[in-house]
Structure 1
Amino acid sequence: MMMNLFSSFDPSTGLNLSLNWASSLIPIIMIPPMFWFIPSRINMLWVKINLILHKEFKILLNHKSQGKTLMFISLFTLILFNNFLGLFPYIFTSTSHLVLTLTLALPLWLSFMIYGWTNNTMHMFIHLVPQGTPNLLMPFMVLIESISNIIRPGTLSIRLSANMIAGHLLMTLMGSTGTSLNIIMINILILTQILLLILETAVSIIQSYVFTVLSTLYSSEVN
């Protein structure tokens, strides 16, 4: 029983154990059948998507770091599958929790910072002061750039989780009013819910792409 609007996002809803996190492992079970028959339509589509992403990330990264595209494509795949799974009824949306999104964003950001400050120290200092900044504003610009750099993993994770939870809350809120509506309003509600589901599908793709592209841009800045 849903005690409040946010209880549907509780990892322990319905059970005393946090088994809902097992939904994040479902993509590992779902992916292998794509490669049982090669070239299957699903396999050809997925290879095409990977090639498009590889070309996109290759532009953002320099020529020495093109091998990183595989890591970012894998990150995109993980987020995309988990976003899609959250659209199915009674399946826990793991990407709507900061526990998962911050776990993805924070190690990436830390690794970029450690690599950048260790190997390209002067390059990282240059990034703290934009070109053409007056001498009087330099201390303030260093402070502002440092703060904006520190909050990057937080903004990455909050953006993903907030966008995923917002649409689900709206659909849950509208669906809970169905019992008090007449037949005409129920038909309108069903049509609205279908349109919201299409919108949420687009948001799932866009947010996984945005998360990955921003991570790629953060990586390109330290080289």
Structure 2
Amino acid sequence: MVNLFSTFDPSTNIMNLSLNWMSTLMCMFMIPMSFWFIPSRYSFIWNNIILTLHKEFKTLLGPFNHKGSTVLFISLFSFILFNNFMGLFPYIYTSSSHLSMTLSLALPLWLSFMLFGWINNTQHMFAHLVPQGTPPVLMPFMVCIETISNVIRPGTLAVRLAANMIAGHLLLTLLGNTGPMLSSSIVSLLIFTQILLLMLEFAVSVIQSYVFAILSTLYSSEVI
């Protein structure tokens, strides 16, 4: 079990230096300088993705959004996507599979939204605790339920991302460990299954970064 979870251990030391967290910023060093200066198909595709996300986030934030607020969520999407994608390479620590990483993204965002909402739109925030059309008898219970659902938001954001990243990697590791005990004909089937799972993991890494950014946008639109 120790070997199984070693890829998710942030305290792996190389020459007494904890270098696992370096994978968080490794993607920035892997992008060549020519990507930013010389137009190419890759930069064209990425610009189209950013433009699409900008339009979608702008729609979700509504007409009262502050200018440039979509940049925050696009940057968040890009950062999580790069980290999830880097975790698919062998022997690279997946930082987004650790709660200390995902909580450090979700908690400051949620706290800033809450502070902004309660300071600037106090009446709206109180009104949001009781959904429209709630019977007077159920109002105290609805306030409790809405408060709890609001408080657990950063936790659900962090756990969702970390759990999805861990699940796929563990499945790949478990299947890979059974390889030496199988015959050559079944190993070929195992490799094919691993490739399919890797493709699924690639899709999950994109989807989870999109879900994290979209939910953060929706939470911020509620306090504007």
Bucket of the pairwise TM-score, normalised by the shorter protein: over 0.9
CA distance, structure 2, for counterparts of residue 220 and residue 132 of structure 1: 22
1:197-216 CA-to-partner distances (Å, cap 9, x unmatched) read 00000000000000000000
CA distance, structure 1, for counterparts of residue 71 and residue 3 of structure 2: 41
Residue of structure 2 equivalent to 1:21: 21
SS in 2 for 1:130: coil
CA distance, structure 2, for counterparts of residue 3 and residue 131 of structure 1: 51
Residue of structure 2 equivalent to 1:75: 76
Unpaired segments ≥5 residues, structure 2: none
Count how many residue pairs are aligned between Structure 1 and Structure 2: 221
SS in 2 for 1:64: coil
Unpaired segments ≥5 residues, structure 1: none
1:155-212 CA-to-partner distances (Å, cap 9, x unmatched) read 0000000000100000000000000000111000000000000000000000000000
Q: How far does residue 28 in structure 1 lie from its aligned partner after superposition? A: 2.0
CA distance, structure 2, for counterparts of residue 79 and residue 105 of structure 1: 12
Contact 2:157-2:212 within 8 A present in 1 as well: yes
1:6-65 CA-to-partner distances (Å, cap 9, x unmatched) read 12211123534321100111122134531131x211111110000000011011012232
Residue of structure 1 equivalent to 2:187: 186
Aligned pairs (5 A) from 1:89-100: 89-100=90-101
Residue of structure 1 equivalent to 2:135: 134
Which consecutive segments of 4 or more residues in structure 1 shift more than 4 A?
Answer: none
TM-score normalised by length of structure 1? 0.96
Letter in 2 for 1:107: P
Q: Does 1:61 align with 2:54?
A: no
Residue of structure 1 equivalent to 2:166: 165
SS in 1 for 2:5: helix
Residue of structure 1 equivalent to 2:153: 152
CA distance, structure 2, for counterparts of residue 176 and residue 14 of structure 1: 23
Q: CA RMSD in A?
A: 1.3
Letter in 2 for 1:13: T
